[in-house]
Amino acid sequence: EIVMTQSPATLSVSPGERATLSCRASQSVRNNLAWFQQKPGQAPRLLINGASTRATGIPARFSGGGSGTEFTLDISSLQSEDFALYYCMQYNNWYTFGQGTKLELK
Amino acid sequence: QLHLQESGPGLVKPSETLSLICTVSGGSVRTTAYAWGWVRQPPGKGLEWIGSMYYTGHTYYNPSLESRVTMSVDTSKNQFSLQLSSVAAADTAVYYCALPERGVWGQGALVTVSS
Q: What does A58-88 look like in DSSP terms, one character per residue?
A: --TTEEEEEETTEEEEEE-S--GGG-SEEEE
For residue A28, what are the CA distances in angstroms to A3, A33, A91, B53?
10, 10, 11, 24
The type of residue at A94 is: W
Whole-number pLDDT of residue B80? 97
Whole-number pLDDT of residue B6? 98
Angstroms from A83 CA to nearest CA on chain B: 16
Which of A75, A94, A87, A74 is closest to A32 using CA atoms? A94
3-class DSSP assignment, residue B12: strand
How many contacts, defined by CB atoms under 8 Å, are there between A and B?
49
**Strand-by-strand arrangement of the B79-84 sheet:** B3-7, B18-25, B79-84, B69-74
Cβ-based neighbour number of residue A40 at 10 Å: 6
Chain-centroid distance of CA A30 in Å reads 16
Residue B3 has pLDDT above 90, yes or no: yes
Whole-number pLDDT of residue A89? 98
Whole-number pLDDT of residue A20? 98
Which of A68, A79, A65 is closest to A27 using CA atoms? A68
Those residues of chain A that have pLDDT short of 50 are none
Average pLDDT over residues B21-43: 95
Contact B108 A43 (CB under 8 A): yes
Average pLDDT over residues B50-78: 96
Residue B32 has pLDDT above 90, yes or no: no
* Chain B residues in contact with A1 (beta carbon < 8 A): 63
Q: What does B33-52 look like in DSSP terms, one character per residue?
A: SS-EEEEEE-TTS--EEEEE
Handedness of CA A13, A35, A25, A64 (dihedral sign): negative
Confidence band (pLDDT; 50, 70, 90) for B110? Answer: very high
Whole-number pLDDT of residue B75? 94
Contact A94 B105 (CB under 8 A): no
Angstroms from A59 CA to nearest CA on chain B: 15
Confidence band (pLDDT; 50, 70, 90) for B81? Answer: very high
